[in-house]
Structure 1
């Protein structure tokens, strides 16, 4: 069991968050119970976060900032905390997403993480391993904050029709996920196209991939296999994948027609059943 008196703030972002939370709470002369009452949380929960036993949420961090007058400190720290909760091999992806000015993604069989709902993400992450599922789900969802920045990246997502029809989590989860995709229909910075089954053989048959473009750095291609990721800036590979992506976008339905197909699948396959 972690002893708060020896919590090392340099051990991890989560430790640093807990260390600063305890330091500033005590400086304000508040016990765990008193501070919990101020935040509308239990003192036990505050204590678990202070000892790095529980990952804080965005709402918790916002309430702490308001209560202690820390000018957004804990909300800013949360980004680092959440990134540190990702698998080590995947943390580089969160960094690429945070720095990119344009993201292009092709997915063969499921909705990508930046567009997942909480229940869908939980089902994906818990398909085999359900340990610390709450924390891993929160870490995945935290990545979506890059789409809420003052200047978010331009985002293109081409999804295989399979991603709409592969039942992950059941009727309600899938209906909610497809409805979520439709909320971006009028957003010019988040563009979703569906590659229909009728497209036949296409440029993405070799698998999913992402392209990250930056203000001054070279474009990076990212692919992954089980338990590992492979970023590369090799010019020939970037040129090849960029061409593949152009062909995928050309073969996919238009943004408007893609939304129509998403809506059709949502109602036809996952609509509420009449008793």
Structure 2
């Protein structure tokens, strides 16, 4: 299908975000150090710095110079090719985050996720209540902003950012692989008017025809399952390990720890098995278009 009219996509600039990159790099540095059983003091000696400097580098709070990163990766035995990939990413540190034009409508707890989403090569998302953000039409997205959580004067910009985030699904050079699983109830829940819902359901079917998009529906009769506690996202990266994102009311939790990522990865696999196949999911969605 063609991208939404608001999107003119073919090639697109990389989704830069220095803050999100520092956070990812900090996790990688800490993991690499622990893997080879090096202390913070040993790492500090390798870069002629203090232990607090290493701690700050690992937390992602401050700028991580390419020279310091290179010396630490050498100390940790990270292969040259992998190190080069990481250094290429941080070479343009300091550029404005791609989403800065919308900074006034992005709450602090969401900023890191939008930055991580720009770097991710894959995204698994489970949505039990509404359509996934990356699969929403502009009209459906606008209807979701009719909430006390969204300022009336900010609603239009919230929608425009959401649509802008979808550009990577259509990019020729930096396409995001999306696997979305929704509850059947999402298809029945009226958001906006009848036409909005009909267009949204058609949009789901069209988006699922893209090679980088997989969509599955969990039938209501499945009952309790592995993600009954709520929505979550699992972000995958080429240079970094996976990260789990759990959105709550007016806040969010980021889980990079391997044991937590493993638990959510198992939940994602369980959801895939519990859901209808993509073919059956799309057949169900198509059958519901006329009911709204």
- Normalising TM by the smaller chain, what interval? 0.5 to 0.7
Match of 2:99 in 1: 80
Match of 2:179 in 1: 156
Matched, 1:236 2:256: no
User: 1:78 and 1:221 mapped to 2: Cα distance?
Assistant: 21
**Ranges in structure 2 where 5+ consecutive residues have no aligned partner:** 1-5, 9-94
User: 2:212 and 2:160 mapped to 1: Cα distance?
Assistant: 24
Instruction: Tell me by how many angstroms 1:80 deviates.
Output: 3.3
Where 1:266 maps in the other structure, the secondary structure is helix
Instruction: Tell me by how many angstroms 1:131 deviates.
Output: 2.7
Match of 2:117 in 1: 97
* Map 1:45-84 → 2, pairs under 5 A: 79-84=98-103
Question: Cα RMSD over matched residues?
Answer: 2.0
User: 1:58 and 1:209 mapped to 2: Cα distance?
Assistant: 26
Normalization by structure 1: what TM-score? 0.67
Where 1:186 maps in the other structure, the secondary structure is coil
Question: Which residue of 123, 134, 139 maps to 2:156?
Answer: 134
User: 1:93 and 1:86 mapped to 2: Cα distance?
Assistant: 10
Q: Is the 8 A contact 2:135 2:207 kept in 1?
A: no
Normalization by structure 2: what TM-score? 0.64
User: 2:101 and 2:133 mapped to 1: Cα distance?
Assistant: 14
Where 1:203 maps in the other structure, the secondary structure is coil
Quick one: higher RCO (CA 8 Å, sep 6+), 1 or 2? 2
User: 2:286 and 2:141 mapped to 1: Cα distance?
Assistant: 20
Q: Is the 8 A contact 1:204 1:244 kept in 2?
A: yes
Match of 1:179 in 2: 202
In structure 2, relative to structure 1, the CA distance for the partners of 1:145 and 1:109 (3 Å cut) is same
Match of 1:210 in 2: 233
User: 1:252 and 1:97 mapped to 2: Cα distance?
Assistant: 24
**Ranges in structure 1 where 5+ consecutive residues have no aligned partner:** 1-56, 60-75, 271-275
Paired residues, number: 197
Where 1:167 maps in the other structure, the secondary structure is coil
Match of 1:72 in 2: none
What are the superposed Cα offsets for residues 175-233 of structure 1, whole Å, 9 maximum, x if unpaired? 11111101123222100000111212111101000000101211100001111111111
